[in-house]
Amino acid sequence: MKQKTLLARFRKGEDSSNEFVARAASVEAIGKTATAFLNTSGGTIYVGVGDDGTLHGVGEPVERTVETIERMLSERLSPSSFVTVTIEDIGDDPIIVIDVPAGHDRPYVFDGAIFIRSGARTKPADSAMVRKLVQAQVEAPQRWERRISPSMTDEDLDIDEVLATARAAQEQDAGFVETREPHEILRRLSLWRSEGFTQGGDVLFSHDPSIRHPQCRVQFVVFEDDKAGDEYHNLKWLTGPLLDVADQVSRELESINASRVLFSEESLKRDQRKRYAPRALREALVNALVHRDYSAYSGGARIAVYPSRIEFWNSGSLPDELSTSDLKREHPSVPVNPDIAKVFYLRGQMEQLGRGTLKIMRACEEIGARKPVWKDSKSGVTLTIYAADKLPLEASEFNERQAAYLEATQPGSAISPADYAATFAQGLTPRSVRRDLVDLEDRGFVRREGGGPSTVYIRLDT
């Protein structure tokens, strides 16, 4: 999130969906407010910001503080929920941002008590409110990802994918206890119970979920011209465990995202960038796979590549609480499939709840592309991302660290943020190192793989 956006948010003060906590040690306040947001309409907790919006920051080591918060929420908040805990830099003062969605499994309990949000206050729920929360949950239809998958057996399970997720979970979420038993791993992720695998577990971890759920396939098509029609030269149907499908689509997108060499009007300096911001494509793909409606057999997801744009379509519609205009500004997180979303987060495919659309807009702006366009219709949700064929107004050169890295490495080589810091950016903070690498990714010189401590950046041939 941009620094000026955060500071403007702090000046507005606390409200029904924003809470400031001055000290990270105030774990009780953090836990109660997270529970209250889950039980109402979701919200964001900013740790390191005073009640009056004054910036205090979070002292180092901030990464260890994040682990403490994650462990506390995992151990003391029930039932478990998808909550993201991330670090944001504001000058030299890092803060911690906790994004909490509106919960699907209410009532949520923290240390045996139920809390709700009332205006800018977090308060215990009275008996009438508890009855209301319980009754609403009883009457609500079970969401698609939580239903038991018909005829899926242990033989269908991709155990390697399950174990890879467990390893990532231990790195990404301090509250995830180590285990190598597949059923126990999936149980902790709400993807298996005694009756069998859930449909969310099937989509994520079976070798071929399309056998039972044909709507899970993803279509990737490349058209000859910008007019929608039947003239195409590449059409593929991709299937498999959902994270593997995401990787397949990412490789297809990388193959068509050609670099362009441009010169700014003010100088003869050469600038080489991708036609599409990789970060925008990645966020758009994740949104299409995670937030789509899986319940309709006639549904699906489709990535259509045209000469000057890429369209991401998925079946379903935006939640009632959101409009396409809301996607262009800060908005509450309303995950359609929170169990699926949590696995994508643990595997490093998602960073924060409710921020993906803003990242798409910012990434497109940074490379000089037209603003992306969202359309919500009866047939589904479509996001259109446009190619950038000219330099943005403020094209920047590489800094010395980035230039040294590009000079010293070869296409195909991998480097972790820690190795980048040790070799090219000694003395730089981990957050500044990440900014260097994200910038290189947006300019098409590296590709990110993995998540959390396992993250590496692959040098591309550009």
pLDDT for res 60:
78
Q: What pLDDT, in 10s, does the model give residues 313-345?
A: 999 999 888 888 889 887 777 889 999 999 999
Instruction: Report CA torsion sign: 406, 400, 442, 44.
Output: positive
In a domain, 392, yes or no: no
> Stretch 369-376: mean pLDDT, rounded?
94
Per the structure block, which two tokens stand in for 74? 């995992």
Look at residue 271 in the predicted model and tell me its pLDDT.
Answer: 53
CATH number at residue 429: 1.10.10.10
Question: Do 188 and 299 fall into the same domain?
Answer: no
Cβ contact 35:93 at 8 Å:
no
The predicted structure's pLDDT at residue 192: 97
Taking only the tens place, the pLDDT of each residue in 97-149 is 999 999 999 999 999 999 999 999 999 999 999 999 999 999 989 999 999 99
Q: Are residues 187 and 220 in the same domain?
A: no
Given a cut of 80, is residue 70 above it in pLDDT? yes
Same domain (yes/no): 228, 322: yes
Query: 90, 121, 139 — which closes off a domain?
Result: 139
Residue 354: pLDDT above 80? no
Q: Using a cut of 0.85, tell me whether the model's pTM lies above it.
A: no
pLDDT band at residue 455 using 50, 70 and 90 as cut-offs: confident
Name the residue range of residue 121's domain: 3-139
Residue 391 in domain: no
CATH code where residue 97 lies: 3.30.950.30
Largest CA distance in the chain: 71
**153 and 232: one domain?**
no
Domain membership flag for residue 395: no
Q: 218 with 333, same domain?
A: yes
Per-residue pLDDT tens for 148-206? 998 999 999 999 999 999 998 888 765 677 788 999 999 999 999 999 999 999 999 99
Are residues 227 and 107 part of one domain? Answer: no
The reply to whether 247 and 373 lie within a common domain is yes
363 and 309 in a single domain? The answer is yes
d(CA 114, CA 35): 7
Question: Which pLDDT score, from 0 to 100, does residue 266 have?
Answer: 47
Residues 179 and 195 in one domain: yes
Handedness of CA 35, 341, 351, 422 (dihedral sign): positive
> Both 284 and 409 in a single domain?
no
Mark whether 365 and 346 lie in a shared domain: yes
Note whether 244 and 380 are same-domain residues: yes
224 part of a folded domain? yes
**What's the domain count of the chain?**
4
User: Do the domain assignments include residue 197?
Assistant: yes
Q: Which residues contact 192 (CB under 8 A, 6 or more apart)?
A: 183, 186, 198, 201
- Condensed to tens digits (0 to 9), the pLDDT of residues 405-447 reads 998 999 899 999 999 999 999 988 887 898 899 888 877 788 8
Mean pLDDT taken over the chain? 89
Domain end marker among 352, 386, 420: 386
User: What distance in Å separates the CA atoms of residue 97 and residue 85, rounded to the nearest whole number?
Assistant: 6
Q: Choose one of 188, 207, 226: the last residue of a domain.
A: 207
